Amino acid sequence: MKPEVMQTFATLKEVHERHNCHKLVTFEESLKIVGAAHAVHCCIWSEADKPLAGLDTDNTKTLDKRATILMHLRFDGSLGFGGGEVDEQLAGVSLQQGQLVTVKAIQRELEEEINFDGAKHQIDQSNYLYSTVQKDTRRGVELVLHFYAYQVSSVEIFEIEKRSLDSCEHGRENLGNVRVPLYTMTANRGFPVFIKNRFAGSALSTLLFFLIHYGVMTKEEIQAAKIATTN
């Protein structure tokens, strides 16, 4: 295994162990879990185009925006990434077929939830991040979660937000898009407060891993944000 890949999985393992008990698996390993249900989720993001000015208490401080990351408020009141379940049974299929099925599923789910323009934006296996498996106690089966990240331009992410208002699930599954505040204001407002919200499943650990993996924030910055709102 390449050193950079080993470092990625080391960071991922650390993040997940701190926030939940999901087990990390490779995509290929997930296809060997008999009877498992599969779900896919995707983080849509862009690099920052300009800093944010005038948001702090004195209305003069300029904040480092860093990036734009889209999440949404779900029907159950928690924050999560767009996605959903894979309709097909994946146990025993080939690696190539499994990858095709999951990519198709994430495109379908995003089109339903945020009116994602699948003709313009083609998610593929190069956008894959990682997979985890956990016990779905409600159904009594193993649940495999596959996570993807798709980067667009700062103009395109604004277009994606506007298009979502016309999605068939707007106001139902998706109650509205939310941009992650990737900055800390006075009195520890911003990111430290945001991560205290309720997140669906492993969405928080996915977000934190994404931030570290793509160099948006360091582990030390994330830890400082967690400590800042402990009391």
CA-nearest of 149, 141, 214, 136 to 182 is 214
Q: Got the DSSP string for 93-124?
A: --HHHHHHHHHHHHHHHHHHHH---TTT----
CA dist., res. 144 & res. 231, Å (int):
35
Q: Residue 5 pLDDT more than 80?
A: no
CA-nearest of 194, 188, 205, 186 to 134 is 205
78 phi and psi angles, rounded to 5 deg:
-100, 165
Q: Got the DSSP string for 6-37?
A: HHHHHHHHHHHHHH--PEEE-HHHHTT-TT-E
**What pLDDT is attached to residue 167?**
94
DSSP-derived letter for residue 159 is H
**What value does the mean pLDDT take over residues 144-172?**
95
- Quick one: residue 199, left, alpha or beta (phi over 0 = left, psi -120 to 50 = alpha)? beta
CA dist., res. 113 & res. 42, Å (int):
12
How many Cα atoms occupy the beta-carbon half-sphere of 165 within 13 Å? 4
Q: Residue 213 pLDDT more than 70?
A: yes
Q: Residue 222 pLDDT more than 80?
A: yes
Chain segment 20-67, per-residue pLDDT in tens: 557 889 999 999 999 999 999 999 999 987 766 656 655 445 566 689
Q: pLDDT class for 2, splitting at 50, 70, 90?
A: very low
User: What Å distances lie between residue 27 and 68, 102, 106, 229, CA to CA?
Assistant: 27, 10, 15, 36
CA dist., res. 70 & res. 83, Å (int):
12
